[in-house]
Copies of this chain bind each other. A is one copy, B any other.
Amino acid sequence: MDGQTSFPLGPSSLTEALYESVRKRIVNGEIAPGEKLTEVRIAGEYSVARPTAKACLERLTALGLLRRTTHKTAVVPKLNEEDIRDLYFSRETVERAAVAALARTATVPPAAVRAQAAMKAAAGDMAFASQVEADIAFHSALVAAVGSRRLSRMHEVILGEVHLTMGQFQAHRTTHPMNVVHEHDDILKAIGDGDPERAQQRLAHHLDQAQGRLLGRLRREESEEAPA
Contact = CB atoms under 8 A, between A and B. Distances in A.
Interface in A65-108: 70, 86-87, 89-90, 93-94, 96-97
Contacts of A158: 150, 153-154
Contact of A151 (B12, B93, B97): B93
Contacts of A207: none
A79 to B, nearest CB: 11
Interface size range of chain A in the complex: 20 to 34
Given A89-B150, A90-B150, 19 more contacts: A12-B70, A13-B70, A51-B51, A55-B55, A64-B150, A86-B150, A87-B150, A89-B148, A89-B151, A90-B148, A90-B151, A90-B154, A93-B94, A93-B151, A93-B154, A153-B157, A154-B154, A154-B157, A157-B157
Interface in A142-169: 148-151, 153-154, 157-158, 161
A62 interface: yes
Contacts of A58: 55
Contact of A157 (B86, B97, B150): B150
The quantity of this chain's copies bound in the complex is 2
Main secondary structure of the interface of A (DSSP, over half): helix
A87 B158 CA distance: 18
Interface string A126-154: 00000000000000000000001111011
B94 A154 contact: yes
A97 B93 contact: yes
Contacts of A94: 93, 154
Nearest to A71: B13
Contacts of A97: 93
B161 A86 contact: no
Contacts of A148: 86, 89-90
